[in-house]
Structures are given as C-alpha cells and as structure tokens.
Structure 1
C-alpha cells in the first residue's frame, strides 16, 4: 500500500485536473446538474413565465432569420436591387424637391402641372358641366366620367393605405392630399387620374390629332412632375399609369346607359 501511494502521488502532482482550480472539470455531469438544479429553480421562480416563452420563440426564430439573411433567394436579390435602383434614380430626378435643388426655381411651375391632374378640379368641373348639360349624350359621358373619378380616388386611397410606402424625400402631404386620402407614395394618384382621363377623352370625344397628342403628353408630364418635386418614386408613377388604364377598362365594362344616367341626374 505505501508503494502504491508513492506511485499515485507523483501522478496527482503532474495531473492538471488534480489542481484545485480545475477540480470542477473532473466532476461528473450528474453532480454538476445537481449543483445547478437549485439555481435554475430559483431563477425560474423569480423570472417571469411570459419572458421565458418570448425567449424560446425568439431562439426558435433566429436561426431561420439568419438563414434567410445569409442565403437570400434570387427573387429577393433581384427585388432588392430593383428597389435600390428605383430609389436612386427617383432621388436623382427629384430636381425640384426643394428650393435648394438644381431646378428649385421651377418648383412652382412643376407643381402647377401636377395640380392639373388633381382630383378636386376634375370632380368639381365634371359636376358643373353635368349640371349645365342639356343633352342625353353629354349627361351619359359626364356621369360615367364622374363615376371613373370617384373610382380612381377609392382605388388609389385603398392601395396607398395597404402598401404605406413613403416617398423618396421626407415631405408632409398638403391639405388637399389629406382630403383626397392621397397621403402615401404608391400608387401615384395624379398619374392614374391623368391616364384614365386622357384615355377616356380619346375614346369618347372627337378630337383633332394635335389635341390627342397633347393629351398623351399631358398625362406623361403629370406623372413626371410628381417625381421631379420628390413626391413619388418612378415605380409609383408607373404603377399609377397601369392602374389608370385598368380603371378605364373597368368603367368601360360597367358603362352606365343613358337611361340610368338620366335617372341619376333627375335626382338632383
């Protein structure tokens, strides 16, 4: 026995785990769990159960989010790239965004172009013309135009509320924009209205070729003016053009007859 003890002691001296500071590493796992058990119970009693549930949910969600960030899909990369190009080009075209911009002196004139496609002038003018109209054909066209204008306001307001996209520049909407629910950027209501009205006139009015060309140019300039003053992105205006064309087709599909229009106008 003494010989065995003499052989063990040098080993204990050379063994790193025999040192006091490393004694815990040599303990078995059950002993460690027993030592940690009361601490866990105490922390569990003092902690909030709802916070623990939130932490568990976050720990389950974090790996998936990390995978999405580290391994984005091709569609995600393409979409983010297009959005970055859209924002960069829209800010570059916002030459009248404020008085200090490169075309800041022309801001009032560019805003005037946008006002020509505002909802209030078109709705008010259509109501006045409808009130003074004496022919059935005129009442039919004006009533359907008024229907298209109200449809445009409701469609644009609903989509803007759904998407809630801000413009390229931090600008507060005007009072008329709040009244017409034209607060957010996508889609551009002025662009959709100008497209719908110009298409409506081209199809239902007999106009000379120069006037027809001017209508198309006006619709394009109305959308471009909203980009130049920094109110909308390029994609917002393009989306407005598409929505305005679709609205015209919808009004053509649900076109109100002259008898229906006469019945509506007789209520006034």
Structure 2
C-alpha cells in the first residue's frame, strides 16, 4: 500500500540551521498493516508523515501509494486518499462551522467528485452522518447544527477521526492523536480508533510515546532515530517483545540508549 524508497529531506541546507530530517529512509507497508512508530524528539516521525501527505517535497527518493508515484503530487490531491490526525484536537476541523458542515466538507473532498466543494449533500448523506455520529456514543448526533468550536477536545478528536475515515482512506496517519487528551477520553478515542481500523481494514501508521501502547497495538512496530528506521518488528517477532527487550534492541541497533523522558516514563 505504501512504499518509501531512499527518501531524504534536509531543512535549511547550507546554513547554521541545517537539519537532516530524513536520511535514506526505506519503508514498505502492506495493505492492512497497522504499524506504531516510536522515537525520540527529532527522530523524524512527524517529518515522515509530512513527506507522505505532501506538506513538502522530499529532496531525494520516491513515495508510492497504492501503486501510484505521489512524490511530487500536490498536498490537496493527496488529502483525498490520506487520513491525517494531529496531536492538537483543534486541528482537522473548522471551529466556526457546524458538525454537519464539517462532515459534509470531509465527505465531499474524499468522494473524489469533480468540483466537490461546490456540490451539495443529500438528505441520505445527512442521515448517514447522524448514524456515524451515534456510534461515537457522545451524543453528537443530536448536536449536528452546533459549531464544532463548542465541543471538548476529546469530542473534536473523535469527530476528526470519523471525518478522516468516513470514506475509507488508502492510509491513515495518526500523529499522537490521543496525547493531548485526559486518560479516560484518550482511552475512549483509542478504542474507537482500533474499532474503525479493524472494521474498514485500514492501513495505518501511528506515532506514540507510550511503549506499552506501541507493543499492544497493531501488527508491527517501527523505531526511528536520526531520520531513519533502526528497528522494524512485525507479527510474531513483535509479540515476543517486552518494553525492556525493545529498549535494548533500540540500543543495539541505534548504538545509543533511547533518551526521551516521555517514552521512558511510559515504560515504567
């Protein structure tokens, strides 16, 4: 489903602020893979996501999604087939528009119709929105005419997840999408995430700082350091790992210990 070949990206080249964010990164995701990504700040996790979504063009390499070379495809075109959730619940929705209007925009954009933003949704579409919202068990189906800005962080993140997957994306990118939520709400959004991914067989990449979460979720775990993937474990190999053995494998492969306090605290 996704292939990244020898991808490199350097920000501010030739200046004192030069930063090699991705260094000859290679990754192949099979259809239906659910991979968690762990790494210190600056390891290249979010940069990898931004390379996939087209937030910038890479300096070298190729990015292929579902057989199509999207290396130089514009970001707004990629957004039709790529779902992307951020750590900040305020991103991904328009606060002054209603829940129904936000869902309509997401639905029309992902539907692939020409002039989608000038199209109108039908009564059957609104009924579908209501049905999807009811599955969140947050009472949002009765608040469809209310501005999204009135929702809590957890409600907005759940809505954003729904919007990103209401038309099944080719790949779903989750960038610490529960990190800013309180523990109870984070757990609820995470359970909803697992349910949607499983039901729709969505290929997914998820960044997390929680080591236990990284081991428990999905069928694959990736560890990044200095703009590259230093450890890639899947299926049975992943199931055998403990937090301690995973940290030790990172030390061996990266040549240093993981130094991120948030990750190490979650490993307790």
Specify the TM-score bucket, using the shorter chain as the normaliser.
under 0.3
Which structure's relative contact order is higher, taking Cα pairs within 8 Å and 6+ residues apart? 2
Task: Give the TM-score of the pair, scaled to structure 1.
Answer: 0.25
Task: Give the TM-score of the pair, scaled to structure 2.
Answer: 0.25
Q: Who wins on radius of gyration, i.e. which is larger?
A: 1
Q: When you count helix as a share of all residues, which structure comes out higher?
A: 1
